[in-house]
Amino acid sequence: MNMPVKIEFFKNPKNRDLTAAELDAFARELDQIKQEVLDDIGEKDAKYIRRVYSTIRYSSMLGRACLFLGWFPPAWLVGTGLLGFAKIMENMELGHNVMHGQYDWMNDPKFNGQTYEWDTVGTSDNWRQTHNYKHHTYTNIKGMDDDVGYGVFRLFPEQRWSKFTLIQPMYIVPFSLLFQWGVAIQNLELGKVLYKRKTIAQFKREWQPAQKKILKQMFKDYVFFPLIAGPSAIPVFTGNLVANGIRNVWTFSIIFCGHFTKDVEVFPKAVLQDESRGHWYMRQIRGSSNLTGSEAFHILTGHLSHQIEHHLFPDIPARRYRQVAPKVQAVCEKYGLNYNNASFVKQFGEVVGRIFKYALPFKK
């Protein structure tokens, strides 16, 4: 008879155990930090997100205009760069943050978290379910947070190893180039269909909105704009293709740095039993990692360079994360919790290291 294998979950020795009383006090201090921001939110935040919206709009328009002159190589390079920049900003600093409800208080339809539709092949409804709800509620819980490996990578020793895992270093590059597609189909749970844990009928129902959005995006970038460009159709087509690739690689890199660096932990489902707010806060910190960098870098990441603060306070304007980060770090130090913060080069290097290491059947 096969006995179930008991999984030993890694506990980072940089984090100390907290008593129930300490966790309650810890939660109160973090709640206070959040409340201070909420009390200060106002017109300056509204002006900021409107500037972001305008920057994206005009960068996209100028980029597409340059691509219409794409037979001239410098124009193609500038146009592709501007369009790639606009797509990064739209996904990271605008779409992702708006869909978290960070700007619902403005009562502006353009920034409504429940109706915003972003410029990528995945539907916003799918993102709100897989990311806003599942990922943020069950952060790094094995078997509940689908972002742990995205169903294709083994990144932690607690995940099951198979012979297929051996080739995962080979698909880092294609996965990053096609990252928006992975996000688009994540909620379809194709593995469950293959193993007959989901019916074909259910899959077809879930596929319909995904298919509609995919066709809309493909038509916009690869049919409509090339057609109206006339003799510049090919430069416009390739410019759109490369701009989407730039956005995909950037978002892949930033998102993977947020939860798959060396010091982060994954958790068993048992942590949900009687999980207090203090426990929840602690899990977000132990399962996340930050990136250091300039103001421009933080903006280009959609402030996901402050992944810890984002997971603690997902519904406050992301531009405020830099403001609260020193306070959060001080609270972490006070309670003996590791504040995982390092350069992009270091953190991404650790992500790549995980991908290579756990392609092999390492148990720790």
Please give the Cα distance from 83 to 85 (Å, whole number): 5
* Partners of 141 in beta bridges: 267
User: Given this model, what pLDDT does residue 7 score?
Assistant: 56
First to last CA, the chain: 26
Angular region, 150: left φ>0, alpha ψ -120 to 50, beta rest: left
Residues 62 and 223 sit within 8 Å (Cβ to Cβ): no
Of 101, 251, 118, 312, residue with least CA distance to 126: 118
Residues in contact with 201: Cβ distance below 8 Å, sequence separation at least 6, in sequence order: none
CB atoms within 10 A of CB 21: 9
Structure-token pair, residue 297: 């870098």
Q: Which domain holds residue 333?
A: 18-40+120-357
Residues 49 and 94 sit within 8 Å (Cβ to Cβ): yes
Whether residue 350 is contained in a domain is answered as yes
> What is the four-CA torsion angle of 343, 132, 190, 262, rounded to 10 degrees?
20
Angular region, 140: left φ>0, alpha ψ -120 to 50, beta rest: left
Residues 153 and 141 sit within 8 Å (Cβ to Cβ): no
Q: How far is CA 247 from the centre of its chain?
A: 12
What is the H or E stretch that residue 133 is in? none
Whether residue 51 is contained in a domain is answered as no
Whether residue 337 is contained in a domain is answered as yes
Give how many domains the chain has, as a whole number. Answer: 1
Residues 149 and 155 sit within 8 Å (Cβ to Cβ): yes
User: Given this model, what pLDDT does residue 2 score?
Assistant: 39
User: Given this model, what pLDDT does residue 357 score?
Assistant: 97
Whether residue 286 is contained in a domain is answered as yes
Q: List the chain residues with pLDDT less than 70.
A: 1-8
Whether residue 264 is contained in a domain is answered as yes
Whether residue 207 is contained in a domain is answered as yes
Helix (H, G, I), strand (E, B) or coil at 141: strand
Whether residue 114 is contained in a domain is answered as no
Whether residue 78 is contained in a domain is answered as no
